[in-house]
Amino acid sequence: MNDTTYDPAAEARWVPEPDKRPGRTAFQRDRARVLHSAALRRLAGTTQVVAPMRSDFPRTRLTHSLECAQVGRELGAALGCDPDLVEAGCLAHDIGHPPFGHTGEEALDQAAESCGGFEGNAQSLRILTRLEPKRFAPLDEEPARLAPWPGRSVGLNLTRAALDAATKYPWPRGAHPTDPGSTKYGVYGDDLPVFRWLRTGAPADRKCFEATVMDWSDDVAYSTHDVEDGIQAGHLDLAALRSAEERAELFKIAERYAEAEPEEFGAALDRLQAEDWWPRTYDGSARARAGLKDLTSKLIGRFCLAAEQATRARYGPGPLTRYTAELVVPAGVRIECAVLKAVAVRYVMQRDEQAQLRSRQRIVIAELADTLARTAPYGLDPVFAALYEEAEDDRGALRAVIDQIATLTDASALALHGRLVPPGP
């Protein structure tokens, strides 16, 4: 499979550039650029569900992104997408997540209130099109197209299709198509020029097909691998999933991820537990570990095959790309996935020690943002110090501070906090 099923507009880059080596497709170049970016490597030190290096089996934003990419590449290829394009979108989808995962995201959103807020998906677009230095626009480019200034960094300068494939929420803040109060969005106000460019010709508020594959692959990777880790780390007693009290609490959490009644969540969990490959106990032995790997493999196959078959049933054979289709996920399978997400949340993320840790992490981010905003450009890396100095107003200056914090790993955020913030009484 190559990118010949995609038109020149899909393969266009915001700043045109010649191929350095003939024989590679545009999307192979996209995948390589994301894979070799510093921003992707940074995710090795960024929280997924628990902090990195707090166990012998660390799960980070990087391991999650690699797992999402593997799932997405195979599912996308089965449906006729360019596999390199889908993999690039999957690798890039979490590239904007800040230190401490969603805890850091919430804290940064509060700190960035006066400059438009913070959202990990919008930050991903900002990194891909501005902050990760790979290409710069010519000085004589039309300023209106490359606002806010010609000669600026255009990030990795990915193709239109790759940027679109990485865009989970194709709308700005407050413009959710069905829920204006939603906190999910994919672009900040000052990044709208490149967003409008990448969405040229796209139906309003509709994700491209490759992005729907990425989105489902994200859910599949999260719901399966994180449950596997929770069992292996001893956080989840499998017998608890048969307790009526535990199931009731679990289904309350699952409502965040799927609209269903408790009975539907119960039936979904029962279906999974009835399978021969569902583990009944876990003792840490080699055989038990192999069983966990088989569990993850079976779940991924179940979720992906169901989506592939349902999508083919609606759209028929042939390549499905860009805006020719939307991924179809059967309701029952989506509910099963939601239950597994809830398992990861309840038994891994909501442990008492994790709640205490998240409270400390929020304080670290808030104090870092306050200190840097008051003392900048002191404390900022050269890239962000330059953005701070070039800012046209206070909103732009604060955004440079937020960008700096968002690019830190968990460890570097703690180290910078220790260096800049005086210890409390």
Instruction: Give the Cα separation of 179 and 192 in Å (integer).
Output: 20
User: What pLDDT is stored for residue 42 in this prediction?
Assistant: 92
User: What pLDDT is stored for residue 23 in this prediction?
Assistant: 85
For 235, residues 6+ apart whose C-beta sits below 8 A from its C-beta are: 347, 348, 351
User: What pLDDT is stored for residue 422 in this prediction?
Assistant: 84
Question: Which amino acid, one-letter code, is at 252?
Answer: K
Q: What share of the chain is helix, strand, coil (3-state, %, to 5)?
A: 60, 0, 40
Do 84 and 91 meet the contact criterion of CB atoms below 8 Å apart? no
Question: Using CA of residue 144, residue 145, residue 147, residue 152, what is the dihedral sign?
Answer: negative
Instruction: Give the Cα separation of 327 and 103 in Å (integer).
Output: 30
User: What pLDDT is stored for residue 159 in this prediction?
Assistant: 97
User: What pLDDT is stored for residue 1 in this prediction?
Assistant: 42
User: What pLDDT is stored for residue 121 in this prediction?
Assistant: 96
Distance of CA 51 to the CA centre of its chain: 17
Do 400 and 387 meet the contact criterion of CB atoms below 8 Å apart? yes
Instruction: Give the Cα separation of 396 and 131 in Å (integer).
Output: 14
Helices (H), 233-346: 244-254, 262-273, 286-315, 331-344
Q: pLDDT of the chain along its 425 residues, tens only?
A: 445 589 999 999 999 888 877 889 999 999 999 999 999 999 988 765 544 444 544 568 898 899 999 999 999 999 999 999 999 999 999 999 999 988 999 999 999 999 999 999 999 999 999 999 999 888 765 544 544 456 789 999 999 999 999 999 999 998 888 887 888 999 999 999 999 999 999 998 899 999 999 999 999 998 998 888 888 888 888 888 999 999 999 999 999 999 999 999 999 999 999 999 999 999 989 999 999 999 999 999 999 999 999 999 999 999 999 999 999 999 999 999 999 999 988 887 766 667 788 889 999 999 999 999 999 999 999 999 999 999 999 999 999 999 999 999 999 999 999 999 988 66
Instruction: Give the Cα separation of 5 and 423 in Å (integer).
Output: 58
Instruction: Give the Cα separation of 68 and 168 in Å (integer).
Output: 14
Distance of CA 419 to the CA centre of its chain: 30
User: What pLDDT is stored for residue 140 in this prediction?
Assistant: 67
Q: What is the DSSP letter of 159?
A: B
* Burial of residue 284, with CB atoms counted within 10 A of its CB: 0-12 exposed, 13-18 middle, 19 or more buried: exposed
Q: Among 31, 8, 36, 13, which residue's Cα sits nearest to residue 86?
A: 31
Do 20 and 334 meet the contact criterion of CB atoms below 8 Å apart? no
Q: What is the DSSP letter of 136?
A: B
